[in-house]
Amino acid sequence: MALDMSRIEAGENLTTEFKREYNEEIKKTIVAFANTAGGTLYIGINDDKTITGVANPEDTLLQITNAIHSAIKPDITLFVDYKTEKKRKAAVIVVTVQKGTACPYFLAGKDIRPEGVYIRKGASSVPASETTILNMIKETDGEKYEEVRSLNQDLTFNATKQFFKTVNVPFGLNQQKSLHLQTTDGVYTNLGLLLSDQSVHTIKLAVFEGLEKEIFKDRREMSGSLFKQLNKTYEYLDIYNRTHAEVKGLIRLEERDYPEDALREALLNALVHRDYSFSSSTLISIFDDRIEFVSIGGLPKGVSLDDILLGISVPRNENLANIFYRLRLIEAYGTGIPKIMRSYDGYMRKPKLQATGNAFKITLPNRNTNSHNGNRKVSFTENEEKVIALFRKKIEIVRNDVESTLVVSQAMAVRILRGLVDKGAVRIIGGGKKTRYAKTGLYSAH
């Protein structure tokens, strides 16, 4: 087939480039064509438009096809066409590149960074700016952070592999693609970045003396894979989840400051539902009377705090939530917040939820303090004092115990017990006919 001399005479421009012979720069040109407006690369023509041809067109074609297949990501082979054309006896290889549908294309080993992503500017192939790269990713991949391709493609998964192994779930190449850590072309997504050892998002923990953010007792920052952060953060919180004991006769009653289920669910909520498109860290603040979890990202559009309390869940990071579900870290979507609230049944102070347009906060009260001023003395009625005295002989009581001891009606017994629950001295166990009551240990004087 004869060369199109009119195009060659027009010279190099946005969509045309000449190369005397095959060299490594050819890969940059193909990437630039695919990222911009497509174009045609002629191999065997000098910059001054003189035609020299290539000595071994078949070998050169093999070099080009191998380079495009192995050195450019995502796979661009469907958008590239090759042919050999002649001018007299000179063989010229013509490589036609269409604009790809998965921009930005980049050089393998260089990642999605300016040194790996090229675009056309006039007759030259130049590195794309970070802003241009991000705009291409947004245009191609959409708005969901976890589905967007990661700018860092040099990822390792040591912590994640270990976690999957611990729960006896495979974590190979097929799983990485099915779980959306990689695209079908083998390009890592931001979800892959979150679970990699190179994750850029962190959890910052601070322990304060007293009830205000004035005096630091300790600070930590957890980094790396989300699974590593999850384990290390829970271990740290567990250190500050003290156990308070009360002896009743021969029986020792123990109660931790925070229900373990509540700590676990609040931490999982902060990891699964935060908005990772922002670089700010998840913040956990530990005070004498409470722990606060603050994660970036408000409630999803159309969802209220009342909806959350009812168990309605609209996961911001659906693929991440699915992974946590498969690993049995979460039971089902929407169960976490109701579980946190249930873990405080029978206690006067309840967990508190707050949301702004850009943040979500869970506050867990310390069960072994009763106010923002620490333990406080609470007055009890004569009948309430008598009920509290029952716990000197029993670990748990029922309504009938109150009726028989105080010689009161069923309705009065219920009213007295409800008053003790409201004051935080007694907590409810079970429900219906099997309802029982236990002392909380909040008031050492009793």
- The answer on pLDDT for 173 being more than 70 is yes
Predicted pLDDT at 248: 62
**Low-confidence winner among 32-36, 76-80, 302-306 (lowest mean pLDDT):** 302-306
Confidence of residue 441 (pLDDT cuts 50, 70, 90): low
* Peptide bond connecting 104 to the previous residue in cis, omega within 30 degrees of 0: yes
Predicted pLDDT at 33: 96
**Low-confidence winner among 243-247, 398-402, 436-440 (lowest mean pLDDT):** 243-247
Predicted pLDDT at 373: 39
Predicted pLDDT at 376: 43
> What CATH number belongs to 203-365?
3.30.565.60
Please state the rounded mean pLDDT for residues 175-186.
94
Cβ atoms of 233 and 267 closer than 8 Å: yes
Transcribe 11-55 into DSSP letters.
Answer: -SBTTEEEESS--THHHHHHHHHHHTT-EEEEESB-TTS-B---S
Helices (H), 250-378: 260-272, 305-309, 318-326, 336-342
Please state the rounded mean pLDDT for residues 434-446.
69
Q: Which of 360, 320, 356, 316 is nearest to 340 (CA)?
A: 360
CATH 1.10.10.10 is right for the domain spanning 382-439: yes
Whole-number mean pLDDT of the chain? 88
How far is residue 197's CA from residue 97's CA, in Å, rounded to a whole number? 36
Please state the rounded mean pLDDT for residues 161-179.
95
CATH classification for the domain delimited by 5-140, as one of 3.30.950.30, 3.30.43.10, 3.30.1380.20, 3.10.20.30: 3.30.950.30
- The model carries a pTM of 0.69
Predicted pLDDT at 378: 59
Domain ranges of the chain: 5-140, 143-195, 203-365, 382-439
Q: What burial class does residue 157 get, using C-beta atoms within 10 Å of its C-beta: 0-12 exposed, 13-18 middle, 19+ buried?
A: buried
Confidence of residue 444 (pLDDT cuts 50, 70, 90): very low
Predicted pLDDT at 208: 94
How far is residue 95's CA from residue 100's CA, in Å, rounded to a whole number? 15
The token pair at 104 is: 């930005």
Please state the rounded mean pLDDT for residues 168-184.
95
pLDDT tens readout for residues 92-144: 999 999 999 889 999 988 888 899 999 999 999 999 999 999 888 888 877 78
Q: What burial class does residue 229 get, using C-beta atoms within 10 Å of its C-beta: 0-12 exposed, 13-18 middle, 19+ buried?
A: buried
Predicted pLDDT at 128: 94
pLDDT tens readout for residues 233-287: 999 999 999 987 766 666 666 788 999 999 999 999 999 999 998 888 999 999 9
Phi first, then psi, for residue 125 (nearest 5°) are -105, 120
pLDDT tens readout for residues 196-215: 999 999 999 999 988 888 88
- The answer on pLDDT for 406 being more than 70 is yes
Query: How many CB atoms lie under 10 A from the CB of residue 6?
Result: 7
- The answer on pLDDT for 404 being more than 80 is yes
pLDDT tens readout for residues 298-355: 887 778 888 888 877 788 899 999 999 999 998 777 788 999 998 888 777 889 999 9
How far is residue 361's CA from residue 352's CA, in Å, rounded to a whole number? 8
- The answer on pLDDT for 429 being more than 70 is yes
- The answer on pLDDT for 377 being more than 70 is no
The token pair at 167 is: 């729960």
- The answer on pLDDT for 446 being more than 50 is no
Q: What burial class does residue 400 get, using C-beta atoms within 10 Å of its C-beta: 0-12 exposed, 13-18 middle, 19+ buried?
A: exposed
Predicted pLDDT at 424: 75
How far is residue 306's CA from residue 309's CA, in Å, rounded to a whole number? 5
Predicted pLDDT at 351: 93
